[in-house]
Amino acid sequence: MSNKNLEIEFSERIQESQGIIHKVSRMYCDNEEHRKDLFQEILIQLWKSYPSFRGDSKFSTWMYRVALNVAIQDLRKTKKKKHLFFQTNQFKDASEESKIEVQDEKLKLMHKAIASLNKVEKAIVMLHLDGKSNEEISEIVGITQNYVRVKMNRIKTKLSKTVKNK
């Protein structure tokens, strides 16, 4: 396949499934600028690894795997940098506050509770909320289906306790 055809095929597939990249970016980044950077980094890594996509799994499953790996690597880098620099999201513009729509309090609490989960738990919750089966989650995250069920039950308990305590 020529490089031009590969680019066209890649672009079409990304257009169809770009929501995956947005979801992962939102799940792992609070700051909009950082989210845009992560989105771009995920796209770059998808493009670099696209020629090696063999089609053994669904394209969306492969995209999730790549996107989550990039987001987790970025999270590790960000945590290291946090000790050296102030996070830009610590200082918000007053105008930014007025742009934020008031959301339901329970939804805010749930988002906060999900944010407190570790990186694997966040991935499992996001995939579950996206309607992925335990089989698909197991393939994307790299754990057994049985362990996905166990983790999901533990996550539900953890989220329930977190929300009740707030």
Residue 161 has pLDDT above 50, yes or no: yes
Between CA 34 and CA 78 the distance in angstroms is: 10
Q: Return d(Cα 101, Cα 147) in angstroms, integer.
A: 38
List, in order, residues 6 or more apart from 119 with CB less than 8 Å away.
28, 71, 72, 75
Q: Which amino acid is present at 49?
A: S
Q: Which residues of 64-86 are buried (b: 16+ CB within 10 A; e: fewer)?
A: bbbbbbbbbebeeeeeeeeeeee
* Residues near 77 by beta carbon (within 8 Å), at least 6 away in sequence: none
Q: Which two tokens stand for residue 34?
A: 């950082």
Confidence of residue 160 (pLDDT cuts 50, 70, 90): confident
What's the confidence (pLDDT) of residue 88? 44
**Tens digits of residue pLDDT in 77-108:** 766 555 444 444 444 444 444 444 434 677 77
62: CB partners within 8 A, 6+ apart: 53
Mean pLDDT of 58-76: 89
Q: Which of 79, 65, 84, 77 is nearest to 24 (CA)?
A: 65
Model pLDDT for residues 102-155, shown as the tens digit of each residue: 346 777 778 888 888 888 898 898 888 888 899 999 998 888 999 999 999 999
Q: Which domains does the chain have, with CATH numbers?
A: 1-98 (1.10.1740.10), 101-166 (1.10.10)
2-56 pLDDT, tens digit per residue, is: 778 888 999 999 999 889 999 999 888 878 899 999 999 999 999 999 988 888 8
